[in-house]
Chains A and B, each alone.
Chain A
Amino acid sequence: MRLSPDEIIFWQYGFIKLNATIVFTWGLMLVLAVGSRLITRRLSIGLQRARWQNLLEIVVTAIETQIDEVGLSQPRKYLGFLGTLFLFVATASLCTVIPGYQPPTGSLSTTAALALCVFVAVPVFGIEEQGLSGYLRSYVQPTFIMLPFNIISELSRTLALAIRLFGNMMSGAMIIGILLTIAPFIFPIIMTMLGLLTGMVQAYIFSILAAVYIAAATRTRRPAPQPVPGT
């Protein structure tokens, strides 16, 4: 019983292995990049536009609205990073309807890489917004004793991001594999639909959590409001 698509190896040279995770990740990258390039070749500003452009606009506007609702002041600045996270994980999960496809997010390497991207992006955006001293000062809020706890929470939530996505994707694929040996025809289809739903929810969760972490790091400290005198 396979635990991850890392174990399907297409080609090997020494210790360089071309396994299913890498092949499917490249396939997804190709589909997303080439598809969006083809759609945005001729953008129209008026009311008359192509259907695919309309679809892309719906998706991008929805992501921007969500980022704004999380509390980030300038959603456009973070739209590239967070939108890419969401689109990659969502497409990786949606393509499970294609037979013979294994989601690359079912491998701990992919999810660990995505979590490391978030781990690096949070200080980068925080320093960009608050300056180096302002960002480092947030680690000793509210008292200096909280410094080790803040560092540990930073590391553990990155780990949690990776394992959450990996566990959800891996369990979906594994349940379908187990059910195929027990009760073919109907049950695996129902579990595949459930896997699609959880895949989309996990894509949303991943990007929203990344947005919340970035919002926490870039939140400028406002001075405490003065009490209103009188009345």
Chain B
Amino acid sequence: MDSMTMIAVVSIVTAGLTTSFGALGPALAEGRAVATALSSLAQQPDASATITRTLFVGLAMVESTAIYCFVVSMILIFVNPFWNHVIAQATGR
């Protein structure tokens, strides 16, 4: 396998794995966060504004790791510097 094929294969596989693992952890964590928020809402309904606001802030913090993985996948697929480098070499040759 020459280097161009290897780079393409590794990029595609890594992009898929990055998004799949990157969506797994935050989804589990957000589910637990929402479950805890719901149970504390059931215990203290009059603090619902504070609980809801804190829940959303916490969810955004957890979501950002998933976003990091998504951004890396997009970079690997669309603006892959290694792929651009090999393509430039291949067309230049």
Contact = CB atoms under 8 A, between A and B. Distances in A.
Interface of A: 1, 3, 66, 69, 160, 163-164, 166-168, 170-171, 174, 201-202, 204-205, 208-209, 212
Contact of A174 (B63, B64, B68, B74): B74
B57 A208 contact: yes
Contact of A163 (B50, B68, B78, B79): B68
B8 interface: no
Interface string B52-89: 01001100100110011011001000110000000000
A48 to B, nearest CB: 31
Given A69-B53, A205-B60, A167 B70 contact: yes
14 contacts: A3-B74, A160-B64, A163-B71, A167-B64, A167-B68, A167-B70, A168-B63, A170-B74, A202-B60, A204-B56, A205-B56, A205-B57, A209-B60, A212-B57
B64 A163 contact: yes
A174 B74 CA distance: 10
Contacts, number: 42
Nearest to A174: B74
A41 to B, nearest CB: 34
B91 to A, nearest CB: 20
Nearest to B77: A1
A166 B67 CA distance: 9
B61 to A, nearest CB: 8
B60 A164 contact: yes
A208 B53 contact: yes
A175 B68 CA distance: 16
B70 A1 contact: no
A95 to B, nearest CB: 22
Nearest to B60: A205
Contacts of A66: 53
B60 A171 contact: no
B67 A1 contact: no
Interface in B32-65: 49-50, 53, 56-57, 60, 63-64
B60 A201 contact: yes
